[in-house]
Amino acid sequence: MTDYVTEAGSRWLSREELDSARDKMPILYVDALPVRVDETGTVTAFGLLLRATGAGEISRALVSGRVLHHERVRGALLRHLEKDLGPLALPKLPAHPQPFTVAEYFPVPGVTPFHDPRQHAVSLAYVVPVEGDCAPQQDALQLTWVSPEEAADAGLQAEMANGQGTLLRQALAVCGF
Amino acid sequence: MTDYVTEAGSRWLSREELDSARDKMPILYVDALPVRVDETGTVTAFGLLLRATGAGEISRALVSGRVLHHERVRGALLRHLEKDLGPLALPKLPAHPQPFTVAEYFPVPGVTPFHDPRQHAVSLAYVVPVEGDCAPQQDALQLTWVSPEEAADAGLQAEMANGQGTLLRQALAVCGF
Amino acid sequence: MTDYVTEAGSRWLSREELDSARDKMPILYVDALPVRVDETGTVTAFGLLLRATGAGEISRALVSGRVLHHERVRGALLRHLEKDLGPLALPKLPAHPQPFTVAEYFPVPGVTPFHDPRQHAVSLAYVVPVEGDCAPQQDALQLTWVSPEEAADAGLQAEMANGQGTLLRQALAVCGF
Amino acid sequence: MTDYVTEAGSRWLSREELDSARDKMPILYVDALPVRVDETGTVTAFGLLLRATGAGEISRALVSGRVLHHERVRGALLRHLEKDLGPLALPKLPAHPQPFTVAEYFPVPGVTPFHDPRQHAVSLAYVVPVEGDCAPQQDALQLTWVSPEEAADAGLQAEMANGQGTLLRQALAVCGF
């Protein structure tokens, strides 16, 4: 997969091309919520990133990013998990390609619970158990593991940027909480 | 929804812009398989289009099309169902935004079961009960209702363009056949 | 289906047999949350029953009941919806047999969010759009339609018996709220 | 989990009680299809048991068994996987309680694709990645790993008892094949 993406690299978008595309069509994203599970598969902790936004603010976020041209959705999930959690996180990607939901981020707030001032993004959302050591990378400053009870807290959910608190709440629900 | 899309119309893609985008990023699609159901929700028939392809060939196909800039996924589903089945089809869109699968169409055959020579398209796939009268429109020449047994036929599935026979097979499975 | 169940009727459980079975094995249930949807499938209202409990109390509840011997899950859903909402409710059962979640009711509180003092019940939960007129029947005293915002209210969820507030919350999440 | 089940053991069914219950109500089961996945989560092999049936015949089968009184569905999955695959199989149970389908086994053939001459069983079906060494136990004689292409073979599916070939086909579909 990685090789194929590299080979296709010459067709990736320049900054200008990306800006242009963002004005013209929905951009395909993936969102991943890392979790710790016990031997019965029950989620024991949800992993939330602290991420520096462009404006110098810090907010909680999911692992999130674009799907590239000629990249599989699974490849994009793996790439963004590795980018944010480091190479030793050992994410266990789902065997089913079906996302648990589709989050539609609109540049205009209020159309859906999700909002992205930069673009209209449509994101396939997955819960991903990780078994290894997580070491936040790049603009992900820190990874915090919170219990299902803490994750259900409305205050914590409100701290998350772009309406991702709703996505966390939906992930809790599909995990049985 | 419709008004919002119309208002956003000036930001839709020209043919040149679409061609350019197709060379640069995955294009977001929806696929819908119309079905007839009985009072218990059991599928009694699957609806397949006969569609004229650009090359003057005719093949079986699902209802399928792009999600536009600023358009909800639900809006795109409704628009493409109406475009292909006419305004009296009465499609019953699912209450869950979760697609039954995600079909990744690659320009290169063999990467996935799905193939689209024009572009890398990622499609959210839904089974949609329709209750009204279907009158194929535009490049959809005919709508044929086939029984679950007929839909399971490998020969019929092989007649479908772009690997959509696999999507039909997957839809049969999620409907319990 | 109905005929088949009637034919099998002689094998249904007597009260004593049911009490005995409840002490010995998990009992299979279905839970249904009736919803109103608009033409795009978006849920506009959730339907909650007011139900008289055995102890003479009144609480909010979902449509809920046992799956009988030789009865299809779909048949049980239809039967319980008709029993609680009347014969003109026109429920649109899902084409997919997959429930949105499995609710495990334990006689001991705290094992899961769900609790049933009478028995260990395992329930397949579905969201079911209804299009017709609902007229509560039997021990269902009243049906109230609440908006997604009202349904998300923690106070309202806490009013629901047996932990079904959690099931309402999970249904909201899978419907995109 | 295990302790809780053991504690509840005195309430398990005797052979006579189980036979009686089987004549009176649907019995709750779980079905699990063990799979091997690569680092992107793509299934590379499906695990099928060779199992000796009561009649002295041998047929391919999934991991399958009852949910006990006071047992969590997750606990039942883990117990049956361990029983059939041995204690070192390291199954990765799903974080979502939602099964990929519900298989209804009727004592009368033809009601659904699934058939169990002993009883009316309703089974929650899961695909379960296993990472460790599998050593078939008890009445599971052998575990064979087959490729997705082999698993899709109609002849192989027809070899499976009780209509479980249909369940294998449905699992292939939800895994993207």
Q: Is residue C116's pLDDT more than 90?
A: yes
Residues of C in contact with B78 (CB under 8 A): 39-40
Residues 105-144, chain B: which have Cβ within 8 Å of D? Answer: 112-113
Residues of D in contact with C121 (CB under 8 A): none
Under 8 Å CB-to-CB from C63, ≥6 apart: which residues? Answer: C31, C32, C33, C34, C49, C80, C81, C84, C85, C128, C140
What is the pLDDT at residue C1? 29
**How many beta-carbon contacts under 8 Å exist across C and D?**
84
What's the mean per-residue pLDDT of chain C? 89
Q: How far is D142 from chain C (nearest CA, A)?
A: 30
Rounded percentage of chain C residues whose pLDDT exceeds 70: 92
**Tens-digit pLDDT profile for residues D36-59:** 999 999 999 999 999 877 677 888
Average pLDDT over residues C123-144: 91
**Tens-digit pLDDT profile for residues B35-82:** 999 999 999 999 999 987 767 788 899 999 999 999 999 999 999 999
What is the pLDDT at residue D1? 29
What is the pLDDT at residue D139? 73
What's the mean per-residue pLDDT of chain B? 89
Structural domain of A147: 26-174
Domain assignment present for residue B56? The answer is yes
**Tens-digit pLDDT profile for residues A2-28:** 333 333 444 456 777 777 777 789 999
Q: How far is A89 from chain B (nearest CA, A)?
A: 25
Q: Is residue A75's pLDDT more than 50?
A: yes
Average pLDDT over residues A24-48: 97
What's the mean per-residue pLDDT of chain A? 89
Q: Is residue D9's pLDDT more than 50?
A: no
Rounded percentage of chain C residues whose pLDDT exceeds 90: 77
Domain assignment present for residue D12? The answer is no
Average pLDDT over residues C38-59: 89
Q: How far is C112 from chain A (nearest CA, A)?
A: 9
What is the pLDDT at residue D12? 56
User: By C-alpha distance, which of B129, B37, B132, B142 is closest to B84?
Assistant: B142
What is the pLDDT at residue C9? 44
Across the interface, do C104 and D73 touch by the CB < 8 Å criterion? yes
Chains that touch D (3 or more CB pairs under 8 A): A, B, C
Domain assignment present for residue A49? The answer is yes
* 3-state per-residue secondary structure call for B143-175: EEEECHHHHCCHHHHHCEHHHHHHHHHHHHHHC
Domain assignment present for residue B21? The answer is no
Alpha helix ranges (H) inside A59-153? 73-85, 148-151
In total, how many domains does chain B have?
Answer: 1
Most confident of B12-26, B129-143, C89-103: C89-103
Domain assignment present for residue D130? The answer is yes
Across the interface, do D70 and C120 touch by the CB < 8 Å criterion? yes
**How buried is C137 (Cβ within 10 angstroms: 0-12 exposed, 13-18 middle, 19+ buried)?**
middle
**Closest residue in C to B37 (Cα–Cα):** C95
Q: What angle do CA A52, A57, A62 make, to 5 degrees?
A: 45
Mean pLDDT lowest among A30-34, B12-16, D127-131: B12-16
Across the interface, do B122 and A28 touch by the CB < 8 Å criterion? yes
Residues of A in contact with D96 (CB under 8 A): 100, 127, 174-176
Q: Which residue has the higher pLDDT, B137 or D5?
A: B137
Residues of A in contact with D77 (CB under 8 A): 40
Q: Which residue has the higher pLDDT, A137 or C100?
A: C100
D91 touching B, CB under 8 A?
Answer: no
Q: Identify the residue among B69, B79, B123, B174 best suited for mutation to test binding to A, counting A beta carbons within 10 A and taking the highest.
A: B69
Domain assignment present for residue A58? The answer is yes
**Closest residue in D to A92 (Cα–Cα):** D41
* 3-state per-residue secondary structure call for C24-55: CCCEEEEEEEEEEECCCCCEEEEEEEEEECCC
What is the pLDDT at residue B9? 43
Domain assignment present for residue B82? The answer is yes
Q: Is residue D69's pLDDT more than 90?
A: yes
What is the pLDDT at residue C3? 32
Neighbouring CB atoms inside 10 A of C76's CB total: 23
Domain assignment present for residue B20? The answer is no
**Tens-digit pLDDT profile for residues B163-177:** 999 999 999 999 999
Average pLDDT over residues A154-162: 93
Q: Is residue D6's pLDDT more than 50?
A: no
Task: Give the CATH number for residue B164.
Answer: 3.90.79.10
What's the pTM value of the predicted model, to 2 decimals? 0.91
C-alpha R_g of chain B: 16
**Tens-digit pLDDT profile for residues C151-167:** 999 999 998 989 999 99
pLDDT grade for B85, boundaries at 50, 70 and 90:
very high
Mean pLDDT lowest among B20-29, D76-85, D128-137, D156-165: B20-29
Grouping H, G, I as helix, E, B as strand and the rest as coil, residue A114 is: strand
**Closest residue in A to B10 (Cα–Cα):** A24
**Tens-digit pLDDT profile for residues D93-120:** 999 999 999 999 999 999 999 999 999 9
Average pLDDT over residues B85-107: 97
Q: Identify the residue among C42, C96, C167, C170 best suited for mutation to test binding to A, counting A beta carbons within 10 A and taking the highest.
A: C170
**Tens-digit pLDDT profile for residues D15-27:** 777 777 777 899 9
Across the interface, do C112 and A177 touch by the CB < 8 Å criterion? no
Average pLDDT over residues A112-141: 92
Average pLDDT over residues C147-154: 97
Residues of D in contact with C111 (CB under 8 A): 4, 72
DSSP codes of every residue in chain C: -HHHHHHGGGGSPPHHHHHHHHTTSPEEEEEEEEEEE-TTS-EEEEEEEEEE-TTS-EEEE-EEEEPPTT--HHHHHHHHHHHHH-TT--B---SS---SEEEEEESSTTSSSEE-TT--EEEEEEEEEB-S-----TTEEEEEEE-HHHHT-HHHHHTBGGGHHHHHHHHHHHTT-
What is the pLDDT at residue A7? 34
